[in-house]
Structure 1
């Protein structure tokens, strides 16, 4: 039992480190928008689903309770778009590194209304549907947990390479910036010395003309 408990604990900790999950509820007033960002690395799976909370349980959702949704990458590429909907979902494998933005906006109404939205966004290992994996493979509990652990370790491995690449890019940027700053400082010093020399020459010439020296 202790071994199983330790294994499950490791899986939970590793899962937190290697993947991200955002499950939240927020309000949008008609005529306004709300954007949520998620940092996703290339080749990572991501899934999301959203729906407007019915203000009157047991009754149809009011026709006014509609919104538009767009999911885009930091480069402006669109991965999902829903127009005048009350619910939806998306799933894709990221082809670019960086922040992905999910923006929700509601049509303006008079008088103004408030929409409550439930949004669940998962990336990495958490984006996989493990219940279907278990059904399709008819695997037992421990085998399923080992599959999760394998995917989690692989995700952490990829994340480490991603962080190393980002660190290398930052080092190159810092080196280039330092080099440019050194060149700019040298140029500024040269200009200052040149201006000071010209000022001295001008003052000397002026005093000689005035026969002061």
Structure 2
């Protein structure tokens, strides 16, 4: 039994490693269907979104590249304020920088209401955050950096991203503490109010019973 549990734990660890190694995914959408993804992002962090749209070809029973369908992309910050909202082509790359830490919502949907007689679309999506969104080959070419200088640049960006992640974790802990304290105070005052109501009702019942017994001359 212990051996089976160990094998299951090993399988879960390997599965988690696979998810961490590959951030790309694909999903299917229908007409007017909207897909949204939530990404927790620190402040002042660059986010790169790569996507590609394919349509289903009944003749070959496979998904083929589509050039006539565009995608409407919307990004909203944790305060539900729009960061960008534009219509792009069937394949593209979108980049934005977060201004506030928290959960950002990225939504994609087709820019037309009917296409290809209602066939499904397959959307390949890859979201990269922080230093993963930087094209270091392009940076090295533009700034004429040597291999050592480029490696130092990568390490600096990684340290900067780790610092942002730590600040974001402290921000989350502070918000959680504030929520916990607010919940505690509400529960305390509600319990106090319930106790006061129960004591008041008990006192009123005692007075009412005393008046009843005195009226009936039982006491």
TM-score (ref. length: structure 1): 0.79
CA apart distance, 1:60: 7.8
C-alpha distance in 1, partners of 2:143/2:106? 34
What does 1:15-164 correspond to in 2, within 5 Å? 22-53=23-54, 55=56, 61=66, 63=68, 65-83=69-87, 85-106=89-110, 107-109=112-114, 111-164=117-170
Q: Residue 165 of structure 1 corresponds to which residue in structure 2?
A: 171
Structure 1 pair 137–68 and aligned structure 2 pair: CA distance change class (3 A): closer
CA apart distance, 1:195: 0.7
CA apart distance, 1:180: 2.8
1:21–1:121 CA contact under 8 A, matched in 2? no
2:45–2:129 CA contact under 8 A, matched in 1? yes
Structure 1 pair 87–194 and aligned structure 2 pair: CA distance change class (3 A): same
Q: Deviations over 1:95-129 (max 9, x none)?
A: 12222122122343374210111222111111111
What does 1:169-208 correspond to in 2, within 5 Å? 169-208=175-214
CA apart distance, 1:69: 2.2
Structure 1 pair 182–172 and aligned structure 2 pair: CA distance change class (3 A): same
Structure 1 pair 184–156 and aligned structure 2 pair: CA distance change class (3 A): same
TM-score (ref. length: structure 2): 0.77
Structure 1 unaligned segments of length 5 or more: list them.
1-15
Relative contact order: is structure 1 or structure 2 higher (C-alpha 8 Å, sep ≥ 6)? Answer: 1
CA apart distance, 1:67: 3.5
C-alpha distance in 2, partners of 1:79/1:189? 49
Q: Deviations over 1:145-197 (max 9, x none)?
A: 22211211121122212211221232233223222322221221122111101
C-alpha distance in 1, partners of 2:21/2:210? 72
Q: Residue 6 of structure 1 corresponds to which residue in structure 2?
A: none
C-alpha distance in 2, partners of 1:84/1:140? 36
After the TM superposition, which segments of 4 or more aligned residues of structure 1 sit over 4 Å from their partners?
54-57
C-alpha distance in 2, partners of 1:21/1:41? 21
Quick check: 187-196 or 88-97, which moved more? 88-97
C-alpha distance in 2, partners of 1:76/1:126? 25
